Amino acid sequence: MIHIVFQEADIAVLKQAQELDESLAGEVLIVRDDYAVGPVENIYEVDGYQQRREWWRRLLELSPYNTDQLMEMVDDRLLVHNLKKSLEESEKEEVWIWMGQNQHDVCGYYWLMSQLADYQGRILVLYLNNLPFINEKGNIFYPTAIHQIQPKEFLKAKKLNRKITLSEFEVDPDEWRKLCAENAMVRILEGGKKIVSKDADFYDKDILAGLTAEPQKGAKAMAAILGKMKIKTGDVYLLWRMINLAAEEKIEIIGETAKGWKEFDVKLKTEAPVTTEETTIQ
């Protein structure tokens, strides 16, 4: 059994669940790219793949993160190659795709499963689509991400597993191809597995709502923005949009974003007060 997740935090929680339930034993792998943002046209072709990597490189170079290290870490094509190899080597091997109710996971699911149609019957999905779980305080809640579930709750979550149907292997890749052809900069989840394309500035309103007229350190400003957002995305994309908003003179960035989250300040752009000269009559 091979488990696939889409967010780094999912790995640790799933491994804790495996310690509680041996039937979940198996390698845990991650699809690292966020296919909910950025260009996806011809994503399975060399030119489309390179275009996407260059787009991410440009964004990362403006961020405090180590560009080369992150670019080297993300090679989802190799993950798919190794998955197919494992499935070929053992006819009993299964792949379990764990998916939370968010556009990051669902877009990753579309990207991945569209490449695994040859293994129908051995690819399973566990989708937490509007399903209740118990949190640490004993209250019922509806998780939107796998890592929000307590490890012991995975004993219940595993019962959601089902094989991806032949019909889904026909319909879902068509849906993903449509999204790739639209090639929008943002994709959001509207419910179920319905993903819709949005313009690059989709999150700008969240950025503006999280900033104030007073300068804030980049780290504090980003935390405030992410804390208020209902539909979340990554900080690298948000920082790129902040830089665009600064170019449009809607906000002001003081310092260099690439040097560190605490090395720059950001605030809303305020109009300079209009002064009038008074003429004194003597």
For the stretch 36-85, pLDDT in tens is 999 999 999 999 999 999 999 999 999 999 888 888 878 899 999 999 99
Using CA of residue 252, residue 213, residue 237, residue 36, what is the dihedral sign?
Answer: negative
252: which DSSP letter?
Answer: E
Q: In which residue are the tokens 């041996």 written?
A: 22
Amino acid type, 239: L
Give the per-residue pLDDT at 94: 96
What's the mean pLDDT when you consider all of the chain? 92
For the stretch 210-260, pLDDT in tens is 999 999 999 999 999 999 999 999 999 999 999 999 999 999 999 999 999
pTM for the complete prediction? 0.91
Give the per-residue pLDDT at 75: 87
271: which DSSP letter?
Answer: P
Class for the domain spanning 2-179: alpha beta
For the stretch 79-120, pLDDT in tens is 999 999 999 999 999 999 999 999 999 999 999 999 999 999
Q: What are the residue ranges spanned by the domains of the chain?
A: 2-179, 200-268
For the stretch 141-159, pLDDT in tens is 899 999 999 988 888 888 8
Give the per-residue pLDDT at 280: 37
For the stretch 166-184, pLDDT in tens is 999 999 999 999 999 999 9
Task: Print burial letters for 57-72: b (CB count within 10 Å at least 16), e (below 16).
Answer: eebbebbbbebeeeee
Give the per-residue pLDDT at 279: 36
Burial status of residue 103 (CB atoms within 10 A of its CB: 0-12, 13-18, 19 or more): buried
